[in-house]
Structure 1
Amino acid sequence: MFRLLIVDDEEIITDALYDVFCELMPEQLDVCKAYSGEEALDWMSRTRIDIVLTDISMPGLSGLQLVERIQDYWPRCKIILLTGYNNFEYIYKAMQMHHVRYLLKTEGFEKIKETVRKVIKEIKQSHLEQYLLEQTDEQRLGYEFVAQGDFMRHVLERSTLACEDKLRLTSEFEQLNISLHPMEDVYLVLANIEYSPKTSYSQRSNTLVRVRLIWDQHLYKQLHSIGIVDRYGGLVWFVQSRHSHQRTLSQLFKYMEGSLELIQEECLDSLDLKIQFTISTDFTQWEDITKKYEKLRQSQLLRVGGDYREILKEYADTDKNVKSGMQSYQKIELLTSYLEGNREKEFFIEVKEIQSYAECRHYSQMMEGYFSIALVLYSFIQSNGLDKTFLNTDKLLKLDEHSYLSEGYDYLNEVAKEIFRQKQNESKDRASLMIDRITLYIEDNLSADLSLVRLAEIHFFNPSYLSHLFKQEKGINLSEYIDRCRLRKAKDLLQNGNLKIREVSQLVGYHTAHSFTRFFKKSTGQTPKEYREGLSQML
């Protein structure tokens, strides 16, 4: 989904354009509006913007000045300068700017719509062309990827040891052509890729190179980064800003979140690949990378739901007194993470590995493997109040009730399958509850800002995921649902003869009566005045 921001100090123009584009392609275009350059910059700091349609002549921050600021936030953003002035100086300046085109207001709505469609098509086409051009670099990048990956995996797993000597670290970076700076803190991003079960090892390797190309295409102008494959087959990126003095942590966080949405979409479109990202909430020192990475992995494993579109955030520490030296319990912790995070496939792979490992060894190790799994299942059942569903939970901890150890493992697998089945149902119920909460908020706040970005901020989603989840649960677009609520409320309010039409429009979220009238007539075939008069005649 692309995001369009309309900027004009004349409210009637902004609102009219907003209404036009909300109806143009609701599945592909999320539309926002601002009445000043300063308000536009606020949008830029909150979310990714792909296209800006802005007036040139505005008080305060002009359109040309806004363009320069926009490209600091989102350098790939396309800008359409809209003005009523046929002035050569404006045209000349616009022509000198990257990703900027010029359009006269007098050319009308159809021309503006046509231009926005062309820009969207260009964005999609540029992604494809860039991808094809960079395919020739895949082999070279593949060799470099391996060399850098070996060293960076060493850093990832033993950062305290690998990074204590900064001079040696600097030398290693230079020899391996690693663009990061060992004296500056680093930001981590973890990616989980959903492969088809039939994907071969070589296909996975090629896919990882292509994902890295797409990443670089979107981020190399603003960030230094290197991505490696971790021991679990996921991707880990080490990130630093090219302009550290120009990008705060908050700005970097928003920039990463917005850019990763585009990378997800492009990976799905060009590679038919689902990829989920988990991102840090702060920078970390090189010596502490191993701890940060483990924390991100836990955050990923403990995710709620299974939709890859959600950009996951690093979980906050809940217990500062937990010690990190619990190596003997790693299997239990990993199984617990998979179970809590609803990672059914990974859970059963781990169970199979534990069983295979145990069966090749001494009986005591076979028992240890069984009880490790049984303890995880038993603890989950007790802590989640499922003991009424699983009536004989004590059997989990009684190995002698099974004729053979393999029979015991079969029993563990059956219990685990039933837990995951119930969790899947709970996940669906939880999504429904979340959407119900959002719909209630919409109905109670029709006069407030109900943009997709704002609703996502309030309810702690990223916008694209919220849009997808709402459509999945309700069967209609979020914008369509909001329009229905506003129309229903407007009809109720119009029955009150004491309210002016201007007051009704404001109560349902329209700042100008003109925009409200156009919306109401399109929805009902009548103006608000005609609708009210019709009600009077019926009485």
Structure 2
Amino acid sequence: MIRMLIVDDEEIITDGLFDVFSQLNLNLDLYKAYSGEEALDWMNTTRVDIVLSDIRMPGMDGLELMRNIRSSWPHCKIIFLTGYNDFDYVYQAIQSPGISYLLKSEEYDKIIKAVTDAIHELESSLKFHDLVKQSREKLTTLETLAQGNYFRYLLQGTRTTEELEVDFRNLGIALDPALPILVAVADIQRTNMHHSFAESQNAALAVKFLAETFLAERTDSLGIIDHYGGLVWLVQPKHGQVRELDEAYARTVKFLEGQFELMQQACLDSLGITFAITICADTCEWKQLSEIYDRLRSEQYRRAGDGAQMVQTVTLGTIGTAANSRTLREKAESLAIHLEGGNREGFLHLFNELMKTAFDERGNGGPFALELYYTIALFLLSYINRWELHDKVGTTGLMQRDRHSSWQDSYEFLKQIAESLFNLRLSVERNRAAAVIEKIRLYIEEHLGEDLSLVRLASVIHFNPSYLSRLFKQESGINLSEYIDEVRMEKAKNLLKKDELKIAEVGVQVGYETPHSFTRFFKKSTSMTPAEYREIVRK
């Protein structure tokens, strides 16, 4: 969803524009600010795609705001609202790309058209093939595969800074081994499942190449295809931005959250690929890479819901010994990938294909069938042990093939265990999703008079805003904004039934600081003003 921020120091203009765009079906996530400083706070919190702003404001004016926007979100489109005497400001502004302007005296139709044009420009800029073409010139497929092999080598042990410098130079890795990194992992999901290894590899490469374009302006990064066919990014702020390390890395985390959301939409529209991203907010020393990587994969497993289009930021705290083994038998690798990713269809398809190769025409199994059985049984047992599922999935006879009356029965037994694991995972994801939604509902009820923007609510559970919005609608059957309005209306009616509070005070308690905003909200829902409602209740 495209995010638009409306900025003007005149409250009546800001609120009016906010109301106008709220009623349009433009698929916009709207926010408002009454000063340049407040707008900057929003942009330091979340990605902003379009800014509709007054160009002349007290304090931070539109030009200074524009410079800050360019440093944080280079893709952001800016539309300035100007007066007749502001053309000196306008002349300076239009020297930068992505800037347009309108007179404040223009009708709403022209403002709506300018915003609609900006939306179309953003959507066009996300067209996948042009972006991939640009980034392919920077990194070849051969280099990508070599770097992926090197990443797996890094996970096996530590290297000195001097050794890393030599390796990076030879492999064309534009990272500084003397500085820490940020790590992000992606679980790629395909809406149209193809079982060819080449197609899966190409899908991962496509997402990796796309990231080069989205991340290059603000960061130095390395995207790698990992052992499971997913993606890992190692990221550092560009050298010119590391004078204050902690601040630079914190700003880079916010930048990654916003850019990965844009990448997700581009991949979905162009390739039918979705992916869940988990970002570590803590900086990682190179010697900690193995532990951080394992922990992030664990966080992906424990996600709420199906993870489609999710951007999750986690803080891992103290790093200890890695708990998860990355070494699986070669013939079970593809099945293990499907199991880890929760891809039931891909798992069963490949499982059935392997069964056909394990038996002869009479259904008898040879040495390969025995090896395949124990290979699959071993990674199923490893999965059960790793996630402590012994009391939920029976393993009796799993490592004893001769307890089964036939080869067919033994493989059906393996399939039943796998089906149980997929069912259990689905159930757990739904329970976690329900717990997240309940937490959000409780927070809304307890903070009704405070900021309940999508960005604020998302920060409570450390998800990206668009994923929270989708998850809430999926689990509750109602949009999050509609639910907040319902809760506000319920509380407002209860408070109006009593005479202890003035109408303006009731409005403040349900999140409306100005009386006219509360009256407009109440009348839109009930066709009467708060005063009229209170009078009817009294009678």
Is TM more than 0.5 here? yes
**Equivalent in the alignment of 1:20:** 20
Contact 1:279 1:296 in 2 (8 A): yes
**Aligned twin of 1:499:** 501
Structure 2 counterparts to residues 276-425 of structure 1, below 5 A: 276-313=276-313, 316=316, 320=320, 342=342, 344=344, 369=375, 372=378, 375=381, 385-386=391-392, 394=396, 396=398, 401-404=403-406, 407-425=409-427
Q: 1:187 to 1:522 in 2, by over 3 A?
A: same
1:144-171 Cα offsets, whole Å, 9 max, x none, are: 23124314522442367784362x6545
Matched, 1:210 2:216: no
Structure 1 residues 336 and 152: CA distance shift in structure 2, 3 A? closer
Secondary structure in 1 matching 2:9? coil
Q: CA separation of 1:141/1:526 partners in 2, compared to 1, >3 Å: closer, same or farther?
A: same
Aligned partner of 1:245 in structure 2 is 243
Instruction: Please report how far the alpha carbon of residue 4 of structure 1 lies from its aligned counterpart in structure 2 after TM superposition.
Output: 1.4
The answer on whether the counterparts of 1:191 and 1:236 sit within 8 Å (CA) in structure 2 is: yes
What amino acid does structure 1 have at the position aligned with 2:81? L
Residue of structure 2 equivalent to 1:234: 230
Contact persistence 1:155–1:289 (CA under 8 A): no
The verdict on how the C-alpha distance between 1:383 and 1:87 changes in structure 2, with shifts beyond 3 A counting, is closer
Q: Which residue of 2 aligns with 1:432?
A: 434
Shift in Å at residue 77 of structure 1? 1.5
Please name the residue that 1:456 is paired with: 458
Output the TM-score relative to the length of structure 1.
0.83
Per-residue CA deviation, residues 81-136 of structure 1 (Å, 9 max, x unaligned), is 234463222222222233322233332444333322221121112223xx454565
**What residue identity is the alignment partner of 2:15?**
D
1:154 pairs with 2:153: no
User: Secondary structure at the residue paired with 1:3?
Assistant: strand
CA contact (8 A) 2:328 2:379 kept: no
What SS is found at the alignment partner of 1:472?
helix
Q: Secondary structure at the match of 1:529?
A: helix
Question: Whole-Å Cα distance in 2 between the matches of residues 214 and 517 of structure 1?
Answer: 47
In structure 1, what is the equivalent of residue 256 of structure 2? 256
Alpha-carbon offset, residue 271 of structure 1? 1.7
CA–CA separation in structure 2 for the residues paired with 1:171 and 1:340: 35
Question: Is 1:224 matched up with 2:220?
Answer: yes
TM-score computed with the length of structure 2 as normaliser: 0.83
Work out the CA distance in 1 between the residues paired with 2:199 and 2:330: 30
Q: How many residues are aligned here?
A: 528
Corresponding residue for 2:187? 192
CA change 1:485–1:190 in 2 (3 A) is: same
Deviations 1:474-533 (A, max 9, x none): 223211222222233333333334532222221221111112222223333333333344
Alignment correspondent of 1:49: 48
Aligned-partner residue type, residue 455 of structure 1: L
Deviates most, 173-182 or 333-342 = 333-342
Note the C-alpha offset of 1:222: 0.8
CA displacement at 1:269 relative to structure 2: 0.9
Distance (Å, rounded) in 2 between the aligned partners of 1:476 and 1:397: 47
Asked whether the equivalents of residues 302 and 340 of structure 1 are also in contact (C-alpha less than 8 Å), the reply is no
Q: What is the DSSP-based 3-state SS (H/G/I as helix, E as strand, rest coil) of the residue aligned with 1:24? A: coil
Separation in 1, partners of 2:413, 2:129: 51
Deviation (angstroms), 1:366? 7.8
**Distance in 2 between residues matched to 1:162 and 1:382, nearest whole Å:** 30
Q: In the aligned structure 1, how far is the partner of 2:407 from the partner of 2:103?
A: 78
CA–CA separation in structure 1 for the residues paired with 2:298 and 2:323: 15
SS in structure 1 opposite 2:489? helix
Q: Say which SS state the counterpart of residue 179 (structure 1) adopts.
A: coil
The question of 1:482 aligning with 2:481 is answered: no
Whether the 8 Å CA contact 1:305–1:342 is kept in 2: the answer is no
Q: Which moved more, 1:221-230 or 1:16-25?
A: 16-25
Listed one character per residue, the Cα deviations across residues 415-448 of structure 1 (whole Å, up to 9, x for unaligned) are 3313432442343243234223322332343211
Instruction: Name the SS of the counterpart of 1:180 in structure 2.
Output: coil
Root mean square deviation of aligned Cα: 4.0
Name the stretch that deviates more: 427-436 or 213-222. Answer: 427-436
Equivalent pair of 1:5/1:52 in contact (CA under 8 Å)? yes
Q: Residues 323, 426 of structure 1: CA spacing in aligned structure 2 closer, same or farther, 3 A cutoff?
A: closer
Change (3 A) 1:263 1:109: same
Distance apart, 1:277 and its partner CA:
1.9
Q: Which residue number corresponds to residue 466 of structure 1?
A: 468
Question: Which residue number in structure 2 is paired with residue 274 of structure 1?
Answer: 274
Cα contact 1:190–1:297 (8 A) shared by 2 = yes
Query: 1:45·1:254 contact (CA, 8 Å) conserved in 2?
Result: yes
Relative to structure 2, which stretch is displaced further, 102-111 or 331-340? 331-340
- SS of equivalent residue, structure 1 residue 5: strand
Change (3 A) 1:200 1:385: closer
The 3 A distance-change label for structure 1 pair 462 and 405 is same
Instruction: Give SS of 1:278's match.
Output: strand
Q: 1:373 & 1:155 partners in 2: Cα distance?
A: 23
Cα gap change, 1:366 to 1:267, in 2 (>3 Å): closer
Asked if 1 retains the 8 angstrom alpha-carbon contact of 2:236 and 2:249, the reply is: no
Name the residue aligned to 2:533. Answer: 531
Question: How far apart, CA to CA, are the structure 2 residues paired with 1:213 and 1:524?
Answer: 52
Against the structure 1 CA distance between its residues 95 and 186, is the aligned structure 2 distance closer, same or farther, given a 3 Å change threshold? Answer: same
**Could you say if the C-alpha distance between residues 249 and 39 of structure 1 is closer, same or farther in structure 2, counting changes exceeding 3 Å?**
same
Q: Deviations over 1:199-232 (max 9, x none)?
A: 6455445444432343233221111223232333
Kindly tell me: are residues 323 and 492 of structure 1, through their superposed partners in 2, closer, same or farther at Cα, counting changes over 3 Å?
Answer: closer
Contact 2:304 2:432 in 1 (8 A): no
Q: d(CA) in 2 for partners of 1:447 and 1:289?
A: 43
Conservation of the 8 A alpha-carbon contact between 1:2 and 1:30: yes
CA–CA distance in structure 2, aligned partners of residues 373 and 511 of structure 1: 58
Q: Distance in 2 between matches of 1:236 and 1:65?
A: 36
Residue 51 of structure 1 contacts residue 77 of structure 1 at CA under 8 Å; is this kept in 2? yes
Instruction: Name the % identity.
Output: 39
* Cα 1:9–1:192 shift into 2, 3 Å: same
How many angstroms apart in 1 are the aligned matches of 2:146 and 2:2?
A: 37
Which residue does 2:111 correspond to in 1? 112
Q: Which runs of 5+ in 2 are unaligned?
A: 359-364
Amino acid in structure 1 at the alignment position of 2:519: T
Amino acid in the other structure paired with 1:416: A
Which residue does the alignment assign to 2:71? 72
Counterpart of 2:36 in structure 1 is 37
Report the equivalent of 2:125.
126
